[in-house]
Amino acid sequence: MNKRPIAFITGATSGIGLGCARRFAQGGYDLILTGRRQEALDVLAEELRQQGTAVQTCCFDVRSREACQQAVESLGNQPVDVLINNAGLALGLEPEYEGDPADWDTMIDTNIKGLLNMTRLIVPQMVERGHGHVINIGSVAGDAAYAGGNVYCATKAAVKTITDGLRIDVAHTPVRVTNIKPGLVETHFSNVRFHGDDQRAATVYQGIQPLTGDDIADVAFYAASAPAHVQIAEVLVLATHQASGSVIHREV
């Protein structure tokens, strides 16, 4: 019996990560799922195992390089076929000169350093095996800054540049590298950004039908399923009435 491919997904307990877990399981992958909430990981793992998917979970924060290394080492020499660097967040929407430095540190450490931590640990074995695919979840915010987005936009611009740099660095190998840049996606993203203010978070999606985590998961699975000679380098995915990070038509 042929061995099923393995997808390693960070930030798998909600939103885009959750959508990717379900979509890749449906598509015949076994999974390694990570997140910071063990209970949520356990619930998701049980759901997917009942559907016939082999699931391993690791509860840790990608901001900690030591925790990342310990988690990967605990999995043994597992051949990861697809790494989805999804863990990320935005905090605050204040002008840069009024921003909270603690929020800045969390965004930089998660969105940039966390992605680098996982890439450094997983990609060497992809290069050695001559097989693998890295899918980074960036953002339309990485294309241009918007009001109040300052540091968050900068972190997603860094994701784009880091993804492009990795693609260059592995061009001599069969390893593929993809940057998916969503626009408005209705997840817990805005609740986190506004520190649990659900009412304020709801206004982000008023007057427009936003994307869902499942929509982005479909794009990620499409990229991973392309023929081996096809590399989906970058995909910008927007809601129909969103033209850019700052131009959104809302129905009154």
- What 3-state DSSP class applies to 135? strand
> How far is C-alpha 211 from the chain's CA centre?
15
Q: Which residues share a beta bridge with 124?
A: none
Torsion sign (Cα): 207, 196, 218, 164: positive
For this structure, is 152 an active site residue?
Answer: yes
The gap from C-alpha 153 to its chain's centroid, in whole angstroms, comes to: 15
- Pick the catalytic residue: 29, 146, 152, 205? 152
Phi first, then psi: give them for residue 7, nearest 5 degrees: -110, 130
| C-beta separation of 177 from 170 below 8 A | yes
Torsion angle, alpha carbons of 159, 164, 168, 174, to 10 = 80
Give the active site residues: 152
